[in-house]
Amino acid sequence: MNRLIDAVAAAALSLTFFVPGIAAAKPIAFAHGTTVMGEYGAGTMEELQVFYAPRYFYSVGGGHLALNSDIDGRSRDITYARFNYLVKRWNREGAQANVFAWGGAGNANVSESSGEQFTWNAGLQLDYETRRVYASLKSDLYESSAFSHRIDTLQLGFAPYEHEYDGVATWLVVQGRRYTGEIFDGTETAFLLRIFKGAIWVEAGATTDGKLQAMFMLNF
Amino acid sequence: MFKSIMLTGALLMAATIAQAGTIEMKVNGLVCGFCARGIEKTFHKNPAVTDVVVSLEDRLVAVQTKDGVDISDQELRATLTDAGYDIKSIERTDTPVAAIRDRLKSSAK
């Protein structure tokens, strides 16, 4: 299974670099734009983020991440401030690809000990999209003296039709996610329906375990 | 005679510039309506702009300017760059944005 995930990740990366632009959730919307994102990740993670972009290539903001171990019930509540940076963007005719990186710091409450822990965070996202296909690979690392968790998420999407600017966009997305640090054992796979129109983006679906996976995003 | 020709030419040029104009821009990377909202938002903030239309299918952003007002290519490029996109070409026409919008709707049917 791991080899399969690696192969799919490699394919997504190849797409990112060698095929022309994806409808991926991005931590930077546009200059002077605010992005609000919330995710419910199958009972294993919940996250809320707010970012403001003074320029098109960076945004600042913060978020809250709750991790609940599917293995032993341990939990982490992490509140952080973050800086997101657009490392590289390729705009092509009918396609766009991006490399984003971010870093941040905050505090975490850890279920197995009292008091707050200093936490730092770093991550990377590669995405590629056209009006019909999309791929995104995101890796998000949270470290403290009490824990180390990395969340790797791969998404591959397909649009049954090409949406117009003022129309409703519909995407069918398959998501694979892995956690390190004994949050979840193996790969969590989910099938999602993504819909967006105007400034509102929602996606919802279920994991192969039958758990809810959902996300919303607003850009304004 | 030469002065008259020059004066007539200058008046004709001034009349052309003074007309309400449309600027049509072909844009690279224009694939996602959700992501492209910054384009419309930014152009609507520009006091020279009266109307904006975006087409993903045609990779087109068209803006209509107020009578006698133009937007420089440099400012257009900066606006699109700030929205996260690259301009491939810029063309000034006298087709109203409303007519472009109608044309896009017709071609989409």
Q: Provide the residue ranges of all domains of chain B, joining segments of one domain with +.
A: 19-108
pLDDT digits (tens, 9 = 90+) for B12-35: 444 444 456 999 999 999 998 888
Q: How far is B58 from chain A (nearest CA, A)?
A: 9
Query: What is the CATH T-level fold of the domain B19-108, as seen in this structure?
Result: Alpha-Beta Plaits (3.30.70)
pLDDT at B5 over 90: no
pLDDT digits (tens, 9 = 90+) for A109-150: 998 887 899 999 999 999 999 999 999 999 999 999 999 999
Whether residues B38 and A165 touch (CB distance < 8 A) is answered with: no
Whether residues A21 and B57 touch (CB distance < 8 A) is answered with: no
CATH number of A2-219, picked from 1.10.10, 3.40.190, 1.10.150, 2.40.160: 2.40.160
Residue of A nearest to B104 (CA): A164
pLDDT digits (tens, 9 = 90+) for A183-211: 999 999 999 999 999 889 999 999 999 99
pLDDT digits (tens, 9 = 90+) for A19-58: 333 356 788 888 889 999 999 999 999 999 999 999 999 9
Task: Specify the pLDDT at position B34.
Answer: 85
Q: Which of A15, A22, A30, A58 to mutate to test the interface with B (most CBs of B within 10 A)?
A: A30
> What ipTM goes with this model?
0.77
Q: Which of B17, B83, B19 is nearest to B46 (CA)?
A: B83
Would you tell me the crossing angle of helices B37-45 and B73-82 to the nearest 10 degrees?
A: 140
Q: Are A173 and A155 in contact (CB under 8 A)?
A: yes
**Shortest CB distance from A164 goes to which of B34, B37, B56?**
B56
pLDDT digits (tens, 9 = 90+) for B37-58: 889 888 999 999 999 999 999 9
Q: How far is A48 from chain B (nearest CA, A)?
A: 19
Which tokens sit at A155? 């998404």
Q: Are A178 and A191 in contact (CB under 8 A)?
A: no
pLDDT at B2 over 70: no
Whether residues A56 and B83 touch (CB distance < 8 A) is answered with: yes
Calculate what percentage of chain A has a pLDDT beyond 90: 78
